[in-house]
Amino acid sequence: MKITSLIVALLTAGTLAVFGQEETVQDIKHGAKKAGEKIKEGVETVGEKTKQAAETVGEKTKETAETVGRKTKETVETIGEKKTQATTTAHHKSTKAVRKTKEQTGEERSSNREPNTPSPTDR
Protein backbone atom coordinates (compact mmCIF):
# COMPACT_ATOMS: atom_id res chain seq x y z
CA MET A 1 0.00 0.00 0.00
CA LYS A 2 2.83 2.27 0.67
CA ILE A 3 4.04 1.87 -2.88
CA THR A 4 0.59 2.43 -4.24
CA SER A 5 0.20 5.55 -2.12
CA LEU A 6 3.59 6.75 -3.27
CA ILE A 7 2.67 6.20 -6.93
CA VAL A 8 -0.66 7.94 -6.46
CA ALA A 9 1.07 10.85 -4.73
CA LEU A 10 3.64 11.13 -7.53
CA LEU A 11 0.95 10.94 -10.20
CA THR A 12 -1.10 13.55 -8.37
CA ALA A 13 1.92 15.81 -8.00
CA GLY A 14 2.79 15.37 -11.68
CA THR A 15 -0.76 16.07 -12.74
CA LEU A 16 -0.91 19.20 -10.64
CA ALA A 17 2.42 20.34 -12.09
CA VAL A 18 1.12 19.82 -15.63
CA PHE A 19 -2.07 21.73 -14.87
CA GLY A 20 -0.02 24.48 -13.23
CA GLN A 21 2.23 24.72 -16.26
CA GLU A 22 -0.78 24.75 -18.56
CA GLU A 23 -2.22 27.67 -16.65
CA THR A 24 1.12 29.49 -16.81
CA VAL A 25 1.28 28.91 -20.56
CA GLN A 26 -2.25 30.32 -20.89
CA ASP A 27 -1.23 33.37 -18.83
CA ILE A 28 1.79 33.90 -21.07
CA LYS A 29 -0.35 33.61 -24.21
CA HIS A 30 -2.87 36.07 -22.81
CA GLY A 31 -0.11 38.54 -21.84
CA ALA A 32 1.50 38.25 -25.27
CA LYS A 33 -1.85 38.85 -26.97
CA LYS A 34 -2.43 42.00 -24.88
CA ALA A 35 1.09 43.22 -25.64
CA GLY A 36 0.53 42.62 -29.37
CA GLU A 37 -2.73 44.60 -29.26
CA LYS A 38 -0.99 47.51 -27.50
CA ILE A 39 1.80 47.49 -30.07
CA LYS A 40 -0.76 47.44 -32.88
CA GLU A 41 -2.62 50.40 -31.35
CA GLY A 42 0.67 52.27 -30.95
CA VAL A 43 1.62 51.65 -34.57
CA GLU A 44 -1.80 52.84 -35.76
CA THR A 45 -1.49 55.99 -33.65
CA VAL A 46 1.99 56.66 -35.02
CA GLY A 47 0.67 56.10 -38.54
CA GLU A 48 -2.17 58.56 -38.02
CA LYS A 49 0.13 61.17 -36.51
CA THR A 50 2.61 60.74 -39.36
CA LYS A 51 -0.17 61.14 -41.92
CA GLN A 52 -1.43 64.30 -40.20
CA ALA A 53 2.09 65.71 -40.05
CA ALA A 54 2.64 64.96 -43.74
CA GLU A 55 -0.64 66.68 -44.64
CA THR A 56 0.30 69.71 -42.58
CA VAL A 57 3.73 69.90 -44.19
CA GLY A 58 2.11 69.58 -47.62
CA GLU A 59 -0.33 72.40 -46.87
CA LYS A 60 2.39 74.67 -45.51
CA THR A 61 4.61 73.94 -48.52
CA LYS A 62 1.76 74.79 -50.88
CA GLU A 63 1.03 78.04 -49.00
CA THR A 64 4.71 78.98 -49.07
CA ALA A 65 4.96 78.27 -52.78
CA GLU A 66 1.89 80.42 -53.46
CA THR A 67 3.31 83.25 -51.34
CA VAL A 68 6.68 83.07 -53.09
CA GLY A 69 4.94 83.07 -56.48
CA ARG A 70 2.81 86.07 -55.55
CA LYS A 71 5.78 88.01 -54.15
CA THR A 72 7.86 87.22 -57.23
CA LYS A 73 5.07 88.42 -59.50
CA GLU A 74 4.72 91.63 -57.48
CA THR A 75 8.48 92.20 -57.65
CA VAL A 76 8.55 91.67 -61.41
CA GLU A 77 5.62 94.07 -61.86
CA THR A 78 7.28 96.68 -59.64
CA ILE A 79 10.56 96.36 -61.54
CA GLY A 80 8.66 96.66 -64.82
CA GLU A 81 6.90 99.81 -63.63
CA LYS A 82 10.15 101.37 -62.42
CA LYS A 83 11.87 100.46 -65.66
CA THR A 84 9.05 102.05 -67.65
CA GLN A 85 9.23 105.18 -65.49
CA ALA A 86 12.98 105.34 -65.88
CA THR A 87 12.69 104.93 -69.64
CA THR A 88 10.03 107.61 -69.83
CA THR A 89 12.08 109.98 -67.68
CA ALA A 90 15.19 109.36 -69.78
CA HIS A 91 13.20 109.96 -72.96
CA HIS A 92 11.81 113.24 -71.63
CA LYS A 93 15.24 114.40 -70.51
CA SER A 94 16.87 113.55 -73.84
CA THR A 95 14.03 115.19 -75.78
CA LYS A 96 14.35 118.29 -73.62
CA ALA A 97 18.12 118.36 -74.15
CA VAL A 98 17.72 118.03 -77.92
CA ARG A 99 15.13 120.81 -77.97
CA LYS A 100 17.38 123.04 -75.88
CA THR A 101 20.33 122.35 -78.16
CA LYS A 102 18.24 123.20 -81.22
CA GLU A 103 17.11 126.43 -79.65
CA GLN A 104 20.67 127.43 -78.78
CA THR A 105 21.89 126.54 -82.25
CA GLY A 106 19.09 128.57 -83.79
CA GLU A 107 19.93 131.61 -81.63
CA GLU A 108 23.60 131.40 -82.58
CA ARG A 109 22.76 131.27 -86.26
CA SER A 110 20.46 134.22 -86.05
CA SER A 111 22.97 136.35 -84.11
CA ASN A 112 25.93 135.44 -86.35
CA ARG A 113 24.17 136.18 -89.58
CA GLU A 114 25.20 139.06 -91.67
CA PRO A 115 22.90 140.37 -94.28
CA ASN A 116 23.67 139.19 -97.77
CA THR A 117 22.63 142.41 -99.38
CA PRO A 118 25.04 145.31 -99.10
CA SER A 119 23.89 148.12 -96.94
CA PRO A 120 23.73 151.62 -98.42
CA THR A 121 26.45 152.81 -96.06
CA ASP A 122 28.92 150.19 -97.31
CA ARG A 123 29.13 151.86 -100.76
Question: pLDDT tens digits for 61-108?
Answer: 999 999 999 999 888 888 877 777 777 777 677 777 777 777 777 665
- In order of 34, 42, 49, 58, 76, the CA distances from 52 in angstroms are 27, 15, 5, 10, 36
- In order of 17, 73, 94, 112, 119, the CA distances from 101 in angstroms are 123, 42, 10, 16, 32
pTM of the full structure? 0.41
Q: Which helix (H) or strand (E) holds 2?
A: helix 2-112
pLDDT at 61: 94
pLDDT at 122: 56
Q: What is the spatial distance between Cα 121 and Cα 52, in angstroms, rounded to a whole number?
A: 108
